[in-house]
Amino acid sequence: MDFRLLRYFIAVAEELHLARAAERLGIEQSPVSRAMRDLESQLGVQLFDRSTRLTRLTWAGQVFLGECRRVQATVEQAVKSAKAAAQGCQGHLRIASLAQPRIATLLARSREDEPELEIRVFELPFAQQLKMLHNDLLDIGFGLSNAVHDGLVAEPVWTDPLSVIVPARHPLLAHVQVPLAEALKFPLVLCHPESGSGCRHQIQALLQDAGTPLKLVDEVTSLGVMLTLVGAGYGIGFSIASQVQTLQRPDISIRPLAGIPPMLSPYLLRRHGEPSEPMKRFIERVKDEAAPV
């Protein structure tokens, strides 16, 4: 299969809009549309639900997106490894990152403290991180779940308050701080338990503690897809505010929850056993970042 088709598919699946995907790829829209039809024909499955005006992934498309990201990450890692070896780099860390300012600070500190250390950063769903850690294709991951396989370790690193994500125009925006009971009156868009950052388990447990039945309207593969559906008015979502704020989307708004907000725990993920020296130093920086000021 042409790797180009996978690259086009990832863009369309993440943007859920052909024109935006074409702009992101730097090509015309018609080749992208034709490539998606060719891809579905080659696979013999429907990847997109075209029954509504909004482009959406079928479940087969969501599963295929996760696998395409894995293939893309593996290819990118191979290219980076070859270039780093040619430049004489000694030692490396392969890290899967969450879109959080704290992790950006950690990565910047690591590059400053150890400029000779090659750091490769990937954006991977939680389930894919577990596979790559198990197969020694990743050294450190970050996720919002501690549901790891045998042979892996999940260490809580800090806590962040849960926030509600709503469309740019929504009745909940009348609240500066949104009561959780009011938020749960509206339909929810949540990440599938096997996708995204792994936050579904934590978020669902926190929301169910409120004692209100959840009105789940959709399960998606990533934070980006969740925000697209929230922005389109399909429902509201929940996330760590710092993750969403970095994306700067005009179609959504973020509100803190009223009272003492529920807290989510990001986890550092790694293989069980003695970490390498570069890993030890990175973990020490994580502990420093998590320490109260």
Give me the DSSP letters along 62-83: HHHHHHHHHHHHHHHHHHHHHH
**Structure tokens belonging to residue 168:** 């740019």
Q: What is the mean predicted confidence (pLDDT) over 74-103?
A: 74
* pLDDT at site 81: 67
* pLDDT at site 73: 81
47: pLDDT strictly greater than 80: yes
DSSP 172: G
Compute the mean pLDDT over every residue in the chain, rounded to the nearest whole number.
87
Taken in order of first residue, the domains within the chain and their CATH numbers are: 3-66 (1.10.10.10), 90-157+266-290 (3.40.190.10), 160-264 (3.40.190.10)
User: Tell me: the pLDDT tens digits for 96-153?
Assistant: 987 778 888 888 999 888 888 888 888 888 888 998 999 888 999 998 888 888 899 9
User: Tell me: the pLDDT tens digits for 194-243?
Assistant: 777 788 888 888 888 878 888 988 888 888 888 999 999 999 999 888 87
User: Tell me: the pLDDT tens digits for 245-269?
Assistant: 777 789 999 999 999 888 888 899 9
Q: What is the mean predicted confidence (pLDDT) over 18-29?
A: 91
More confident residue, 285 or 201: 285
Sequence-distant (≥ 6) Cβ neighbours of residue 92 within 8 angstroms = 81, 84, 117, 118, 119, 120, 278
For residue 92, the tally of other CB atoms under 10 A from its CB is 18
Of 56-65, 72-81, 82-91, 119-128, which range is least confident?
82-91
Q: What is the mean predicted confidence (pLDDT) over 181-192?
A: 91
pLDDT tier for residue 28 given thresholds of 50, 70 and 90: very high
Sequence-distant (≥ 6) Cβ neighbours of residue 149 within 8 angstroms = 130, 134
Closest Cα to residue 238, out of 268, 272, 214, 259?
214
Strand 252-256 relative to strand 188-191, pairing: unpaired
**Structure tokens belonging to residue 221:** 């593969």
Q: How many degrees, rounded to 5, is the angle at CA 187 between CA 65 and CA 210?
A: 110
Question: Hey, what amino acid is at 193?
Answer: P
* pLDDT at site 91: 67
Query: For residues 253 and 269, what is the distance between their CA atoms, to the nearest angstrom?
Result: 30
Query: For residues 23 and 31, what is the distance between their CA atoms, to the nearest angstrom?
Result: 12
More confident residue, 174 or 291: 174
Query: For residues 205 and 212, what is the distance between their CA atoms, to the nearest angstrom?
Result: 12
Query: For residues 208 and 240, what is the distance between their CA atoms, to the nearest angstrom?
Result: 18
**Using an 8 Å Cβ cutoff, are 67 and 222 in contact?**
no
**Structure tokens belonging to residue 38:** 């060719």
Query: For residues 15 and 9, what is the distance between their CA atoms, to the nearest angstrom?
Result: 10
**Using an 8 Å Cβ cutoff, are 192 and 222 in contact?**
no
Cα–Cα separations (whole angstroms), residue 128 to 16, 100, 148, 203: 21, 19, 11, 20
Query: For residues 130 and 136, what is the distance between their CA atoms, to the nearest angstrom?
Result: 10
88: pLDDT strictly greater than 60: no
* pLDDT at site 144: 87
Query: For residues 68 and 277, what is the distance between their CA atoms, to the nearest angstrom?
Result: 32
**Structure tokens belonging to residue 241:** 């505010």
Percent of the chain with pLDDT over 90: 42
155: pLDDT strictly greater than 90: yes
87: pLDDT strictly greater than 60: no
**Residue 240 forms beta bridges with which residues?**
162
Residue written as token pair 């929504």 = 170
45: pLDDT strictly greater than 90: yes
